[in-house]
Structure 1
Amino acid sequence: MTRQPIASGRFYPGNAEQIKALIDSFTQGNEDKVDAIGVVAPHAGYIYSGSVATAVFSRVEPADTYIIIGPNHTGMGKPFSIMTVGSWKTPLGEVPIDSTLAQSILAKSKNLQEDRTAHQNEHSIEVQLPIIQYFKPDLKIVPIILSVATLEIYHEIGAAIAQAIKETDGKSILIVASSDMTHYESQEAASAKDHRAIEEILKLDEEGLLNRVVKERISMCGYASVVTMLTAAKILGAKTAELVRYQTSGDASGDYSAVVGYAGVIVRRYEMSPLVKLAKETVEAYVKERRIPKPPVELTPEMKEQAGVFVSIKKDGQLRGCIGTFEPTRANVAEEIIANAVSAATRDPRFLPITPQELDRLSISVDVLTKPEPAEFNELDPRKYGVIAECGYRRGLLLPDLEGVDTAKDQVSICCQKAGISPNEPIKLSKFQVKRYH
């Protein structure tokens, strides 16, 4: 049996081409994709929250199956509902249910029940589907709807999900917690409450999130979904979470008097590199407080080295600042990172300085350079090597493995343009490699 769309033409466009065009408008180039265990994504109308959901799914490796957990807005059906057979239809096509995985989850949980009624008029799962289909047309899903309950019940369902995933035959699975944040409060109040809730999510503290939602009366409709996802993700080895983007309906409508908040979060197994963490903390400290932090007391082995370092900052997938040093200029890599993070955020001549309002939408990478060595043109490989072009006192550098730079000719041409070297001038080339940290 096929579950028919009920949000098509209301929450998102009613035909495939319009959906694709709208999601196209939200995408910001090819982001580096990460191997995620779970995500938090909003489910409001696309004009309000579609850009946040797109930012999330554009950043994660597509999965074979998406376990999508949504709240029950209608009050219909069983309180803890799962569908194990059939398919869901959207204008982009039918999405089959992964019956094997769904039945395994159902068998392992004493609280979940097979039920279609809770899903029939509920939009929180359906609204996720076209965006996921855009990035992964041949997906399967496991739809789960949760009502208000205790932490123990969410823990039990999360554990059942994790155990079922562990027993799969190696397929890739992503757990999607479908939730909006605070509803219909002022921009200032909503943002403050939401960031306190997000703080608990980023700590992977599902109990802390539930307690904060209850204590502060945060009208986060899908907190049960997030608590359950975090429970499963931690059992599966989650170590870190990243806020991809936060915005409110006011950012789309211009009305900040009564907004709904939307957060996009990615949960992963591995922790953020200490080098990237240092760059991120430096950018945030300087942009918010004009404070330059000191290097950590205990440096990692990579931080103790001397090397050239570039700090690259992207906003919504687009370059927002990139500054670095060709060769070491400071005592160690940690000091290079701090200096270049400040410069990338505030002194890149191509951009205005980053503002505090942008911090939630930034992603940062750190490139540590090997010592440059002389090179002939035929030795260059833009995927493997960065290049330095010199003519007299003018010198330009281009990092390796950049989108749109596919040939050595392109690489050298761009490098010379950056240095102000004309095409007919003689140049000296050097090549180097980088270790890129995300």
Structure 2
Amino acid sequence: MTRITTRPYPFRDSERLRQSGVHPVLARVYAARGLLDVKELESELSSLIAPSGLLHIGDAAIFLADSIAAKKKMVIVADYDCDGATACAVGLRGLRLLGANVDFIVPNRFEYGYGLTPEIVELTAREKSPDIIVTVDNGIASIDGVAEANRRGIEVVVTDHHLPADTLPAARVIVNPNQPECGFPSKNLAGVGVMFYVLLALRAEMRKRGIFDAQTQPKLDVLLDLVALGTVADVVKLDANNRILVAQGLKRMRAGRMHPGIAALFRAAGREARRATPFDLGFAVGPRLNAAGRLADMALGIECLTTDDEGRAWVIAQQLDTINKERREIEAGMQDTALALLDNFSPADSNTISVFDASWHQGVIGIVASRLKDKFFRPTITFAPGSDGMIKGSGRSIPGFHLRDALDLVSKHAPSLIEKFGGHAMAAGLTIRADAFETFSAAFE
């Protein structure tokens, strides 16, 4: 049965839009979606919020410009999801365009876990010998990792968008719209958006130094297909600023001006880039890239986005497509198990869902959590076995329930219960001891 429901809308906002020349029906639709001003409908790059609004971005630009001039070696430490992979590709391509000596490393999620851990710093130092580590889509919670880098004489630039804990890492500089005292109007930038902004500020600093002018400067808009993909795939809110980044990226894709890896992923997914939509990015291209981080190694996905060889990009895209099919099969099996475990679950009697199975795959629990959250409309955390008697959880939330803050509250009430956690309002991850599962479930509920 089809049911039509009327979405309420603020009459005053709708009237203001109508008086600005917007059609009455569209004015009601826009008002219902939270638009307050006709300017928020603009999608040109000139309407982007200026980078200067991001706290410490000027310091980051000066430090990176000095480091490029001194020919220092940078290594990007990336996260292993689509936002992390696109942020890494944007960082690599953009910094190289601006003359940097830069490499990357991406942790294997099953061996090293999330973020800039002391173990990742040790691995990076051993394999890459960097002067500087730049984190993308992670780092705001990496207090121990940054301390280890400092101990080794490696300076750290954190670029992230996740919510910080009470203490910030002692990095050389942190750029994150969600850090305390940052007045940037859009708190919804994805990790890839933050990295793109850092590049804009760095280029402006290099212009100021006379390294190039407005005519000779590298074109950073060539990175917008990557920015759009990471922004949509990370399911951040498409506020006015993010809509500009996504609209510009889609425009490039539809015009055929995209990187070989993105073109190859469209082809592998059986989608037409010249008719690209956010749906394609979120449900066709993004999942194929994410599959590498879930089941294999995201270095494969990053290579797909950074190679300029169309043949190589197509070979990798096909590999990613195969991994994604395997991911779907694993997910289907896990979902069946989850529904069996929740056979007697009554949403009326519970506010949350926590579920664990010893056969589950760490890389896919987040998707299963998302499916269960959609089915039962409850904040859901699914757990899979980790190592050394630990289990790892991945959670997805519903509007109005801030998942990361909820885990913070659990951690404050029972300080020894959660080993580590992080994330944002709608998605978060954590590690607990296997024997603490029932205690955690009760505390979360």
TM-score (norm 2): 0.23
TM-score (norm 1): 0.24
Pick the structure with greater CA Rg.
Answer: 1
